[in-house]
Amino acid sequence: MTTKEQVRDLLKRLPDDCSIDDVLYHLYVVQAVERGLADAEAGRTIPHEQVAEEMRKKWLLGTAG
């Protein structure tokens, strides 16, 4: 699906009374998901266990990694 087709599809799914801010937000979400999927396919991910450990250290122990 082309970008133009994705935008048309998104606009069809949004309510008629949506604001430009609503449209921009939903476009941002679509873009963020696409980037995340591309990162995952390219192996640019961080294991869950590593993220959990870093969050635990940062938030529970108050130390920045």
pLDDT 10s per residue in the chain (65 long)? 899 999 999 999 999 999 999 999 999 999 999 999 999 999 999 999 999 999 998 888 765 55
pLDDT at 61: 74
**Residue 28: its pLDDT value, please?**
98
DSSP states of 13-63: HS-TT--HHHHHHHHHHHHHHHHHHHHHHTT----HHHHHHHHIIIIIS--
